[in-house]
Amino acid sequence: MQLTRLLAGTAMASVLAGCTLLTPLPEPLSTKERLATIPVSGAPLSAPVQIHWNDQQVPFMEAQTDADLAVALGIVHAHLRLGQMELARRLVSGRIAEMGGPLASDLDKSLRVLNYGRGAEATLEMMPDDTRAWLESFVTGVNHYIANVETLPHEHQVMGFEREMWTAADVIAIGRLGSTDVNWLIWFGMLSQRERADWPALWARATDIGGVSIPSIGVESQTQESVFQELLLGFAKAGSNSVAVSGDRTGTGSAMIASDPHLGVFLPNLWVLAGYKSPSYHAVGLMIPGVPFLALGRNHQIAWGGTNMRALSTDLVDVSDLPESDFTKRTEEIGVRWWFDTEMTVRESPYGPVISDAPLVPSAGEGVSVALRWMGHQPSDEITSMLRVSQANDFDGFRRALDGFHVPGQNMVFADAAGHIGQVMAVKLPSRSTTPPEDILLTPDGQDAWEMPVTAMDLPAAFDPPEGYVVSANNKPANADVAVGWHFSNDDRISRLRDLLSGDGVIGVPDLQALQQDVFMPSALALRDLLLGQLDRADVGLTTDQQQVADLLRGWDGHYDAQSRGALAFELTAYAFAQRFRNEDEREELAFGGRFDEQLGVAIAQSSPDDVLVALIPAFDAATEGLGEFSVWGDMHRLGLRHPLSFIPVVGGKYMFGDVPIGGSSTTVMKTAHGDTDERHLTRFGSQARHISDLSDPDANWFTLLGGQDGWFNSENFTDQFDFWQRGEYVQVPLQVQTVAREFVHKMELRP
């Protein structure tokens, strides 16, 4: 887990300092007891606000003004997730050493260089008055809670947080943390390879293979460097599936939508579930803690979801030859817990911060200075865009609202009550050539494309395609006149989703529920067939144990069910085979291409059977050993619910809340990502929230969070949805106020 591994190193200083890490967990609290802790009197409101809560502590807020609704929303976010919000605020501003001590200084320095808050003030200036009022009211609600709640969350005691008021700029910066460009994770890993003799071929292969994708439209112990990169991935909206089915296919005349975002797997969940109504807003859905808009959800007329489009929102620019006068410098003061504070100098080029100065970004070569030019450093107003989306009534309004959504680039999926469906590329991109560059580093004189950007209204969109559905799974969204991206996900998920939705049959909510839990991986079967094909052509005699492994592979149907012995045999065999068929450098090269299994398959097809068998037969022996240790896939592949504090040495065990068998794999629709391994492991990234809405019924909205809604340790709602998740069950969140009033049994009034 990304955040947990970050704290694994920093928390050691806490242990050595004998701080408050031995603080006991809070006493268990029921939903009713938790709600009683909210400061309901003296709120900064113009009139009372009614909040209905269900037994999972999901709120539905009724307010007489938009400003009062935003205040209530701030109070609710702080009540449910203040500890998580405070941790995110310190991460985004490079204040980790304030929590973890001197071991975190390099992480802080690297985050200060990234400077997520760089465009916050300019973004505030460009906001329309109603959005700025909404944002400021939300912050007022957060601060009311912080100032008046009697007991602060457990994280405050452990990490030394004080009661610190929030600003609108804090909210924008946290939104930018969630906008991290997933290309960084690939590029930062590749920078150190530029001095290799075969670098041009390696880069060409990475952009060629990564750029081939089915379009949606028209067709455990780690280094600090890896901790830094996993931290970015954990908060980036890096994955997801989202599908919409037209009214013709649902049989009701109205469309349906199903979305499941892929993010880091840890507690609390990275989403908050809420519903609300005011004069301008009436919607339900999922929100980022500390950010006041519904990222996916529905109103009476439309529903929306989205997946990261792996957009080219960044250039890495070689600024080594720029004169010193072109750079500006600023001094950053870094507070360090239990140690001396320190300072660092951050350099800014005309093209962005000099990222090669960050301690945890790999070097691109001796004397090479690299600037990060990122759309997220420019002012852009995603809050207004998503507020307008939540008010839209049709596809045109939906698309126009998203014209101001710039980062992170999203394939936004649309469905409406009239039965229409669609998809929009919500992004701001430089108008680059569709031909990949010859190097990962660009020159300053190659930056003209940034002067002619394109946005959602300039890019292709889909509306009511003839097949009756739209699907997005981090694949290439469309063939556009400008370069959209170089590194897309492989086609396992999108091809499987299309298979499940194709045909003439009626698609209902149970079909979408089954879709979200699907664990079939086409590429694994293709690789299995390649290996066994080479074995059959060679007609090699196998030992009894080896034959048993081969038989398990032949009988496997490609589903990564937790109880599948075939999936276990395949993973053990594939891992052992790759170790023997390609050396470490070659495996690293394949991984940089972004499609390890597919590239390994190409290598197998181009090799002689003898070369394959030299690696395959010993792999069967290794798999036999693994099959003696594990019985089924879920014995090795696990789902654990852990708070970031669980990786603290000695006392971390009390922050572990589950370790169960789980199905799925890295590119199944129900994504439960894992590394190449033959050892017991926990999935760290993947499906961790689910949403389904049937637009024929305002109340037909179902959600599940992996874990629970409440971030308060030992709350009744801290992990109460974990069982729902495993059983494929959902929490229904109605949109109609009369239904909410009847079914959400816990009542509260916030009073001025």
How confident is the model at residue 140, as a pLDDT? 98
d(Cα 456, Cα 427) in Å, to the nearest integer?
Answer: 6
Phi-psi region of 668 (alpha: psi -120 to 50; beta: other; left: phi over 0): beta
Give me the sign of the Cα torsion angle 696, 500, 182, 431: negative
Residue pair 24/664 in contact by the 8 Å Cβ criterion:
no
Centroid of chain to Cα 546: 40
d(Cα 253, Cα 264) in Å, to the nearest integer?
Answer: 36
CA-CA-CA-CA dihedral for 602, 607, 613, 614, to nearest 10: -110
DSSP-assigned letters across all residues of 629-668: H-SSHHHHEEEEEE-GGGGSTTTGGGGEEEEEE----TTS
Q: What is the DSSP letter of 505?
A: S
Nearest to residue 106, comparing CAs of 194, 184, 114?
A: 114
Nearest to residue 502, comparing CAs of 473, 469, 462?
A: 469
d(Cα 117, Cα 92) in Å, to the nearest integer?
Answer: 8
How confident is the model at residue 649, as a pLDDT? 65
d(Cα 34, Cα 746) in Å, to the nearest integer?
Answer: 11
pLDDT score of 700 more than 90 = yes
Residue pair 421/248 in contact by the 8 Å Cβ criterion:
no
- pLDDT category, 746, cuts 50, 70, 90? very high
Nearest to residue 321, comparing CAs of 228, 500, 443?
A: 443
Residues in the chain: 752
pLDDT score of 236 more than 80 = no
The per-residue pLDDT for range 368-383, each reduced to its tens digit, is 999 999 999 999 999 9
pLDDT score of 751 more than 50 = yes
How confident is the model at residue 21, as a pLDDT? 57
Mean pLDDT of 395-415: 97
Could you tell me where the beta strands, DSSP code E, fall in 33-86? 49-53, 59-62
DSSP-assigned letters across all residues of 577-643: HHHHHS-HHHHHHHHHTT-HHHHHHHHHHTS-HHHHHHHHHHHHHHHHHHHHH-SSHHHHEEEEEE-
Six-digit token string for 28: 């268990």
- Give the other-Cβ count within 10 Å of 320's Cβ: 16
- pLDDT category, 417, cuts 50, 70, 90? very high
pLDDT score of 74 more than 50 = yes
The per-residue pLDDT for range 287-329, each reduced to its tens digit, is 999 999 999 999 999 999 999 999 999 999 999 999 999 999 9
The per-residue pLDDT for range 532-564, each reduced to its tens digit, is 998 988 878 899 999 999 999 999 999 999 999
pLDDT score of 525 more than 80 = yes
Backbone angles phi, psi at 406, to 5 degrees: -110, -40
How confident is the model at residue 645, as a pLDDT? 82
pLDDT score of 64 more than 60 = yes
Q: What is the DSSP letter of 255?
A: -
Nearest to residue 609, comparing CAs of 561, 507, 540?
A: 540
How confident is the model at residue 16, as a pLDDT? 36
- Quote the mean pLDDT of the chain: 90
d(Cα 339, Cα 98) in Å, to the nearest integer?
Answer: 10
Task: Output b/e per residue, 352-373; b: 16+ Cβ within 10 A.
Answer: bbbbbbbebbbebeeeebbbbb
Q: What is the 3-state secondary structure (H, E, C) of 466-497?
A: CCCEEEECCCCCCCCCCCCCCCCCCCHHHHHH
To the nearest whole percent, how much of the chain has pLDDT over 70? Answer: 90
Q: What is the DSSP letter of 115?
A: -
Residue pair 93/110 in contact by the 8 Å Cβ criterion:
no
How confident is the model at residue 100, as a pLDDT? 77
Give the CA distances from residue 307 to residues 234, 459, 474, in Å, rounded to whole numbers and listed in that order: 15, 16, 6
How confident is the model at residue 633, as a pLDDT? 98
The per-residue pLDDT for range 706-740, each reduced to its tens digit, is 999 999 999 999 999 999 999 999 999 999 999 99
pLDDT score of 12 more than 80 = no
Looking at the DSSP assignment, which residues form a beta bridge with residue 702? 692, 732
Six-digit token string for 119: 């465009």
How confident is the model at residue 676, as a pLDDT? 86
Six-digit token string for 452: 């002619």
- Greater confidence (115 vs 222) lies with 115
How confident is the model at residue 215, as a pLDDT? 61
d(Cα 229, Cα 247) in Å, to the nearest integer?
Answer: 42
**The one-letter amino acid at 734:** P
- pLDDT category, 447, cuts 50, 70, 90? confident
- pLDDT category, 2, cuts 50, 70, 90? very low
**The one-letter amino acid at 563:** Q
To the nearest whole percent, how much of the chain has pLDDT over 90? Answer: 73
How confident is the model at residue 188, as a pLDDT? 87
pLDDT score of 446 more than 50 = yes
Mapped onto helix, strand or coil, the DSSP state of residue 567 is: helix
> Residue 197 class from Cβ within 10 Å (0-12 exposed, 13-18 middle, 19+ buried)?
exposed
Residue pair 562/637 in contact by the 8 Å Cβ criterion:
yes
d(Cα 362, Cα 746) in Å, to the nearest integer?
Answer: 52
How confident is the model at residue 605, as a pLDDT? 80
Q: What is the DSSP letter of 700?
A: -
- Greater confidence (657 vs 653) lies with 657
Point out the least confidently predicted range of 36-45, 404-413, 498-507, 603-612. Answer: 603-612
pLDDT score of 504 more than 80 = yes
How confident is the model at residue 182, as a pLDDT? 86
Sequence-ordered list of residues with C-beta below 8 angstroms from that of 323, at least 6 positions apart, any chain: none
pLDDT score of 3 more than 60 = no
pLDDT score of 699 more than 90 = yes
How confident is the model at residue 644, as a pLDDT? 83
- Greater confidence (643 vs 148) lies with 148
- Give the other-Cβ count within 10 Å of 330's Cβ: 11
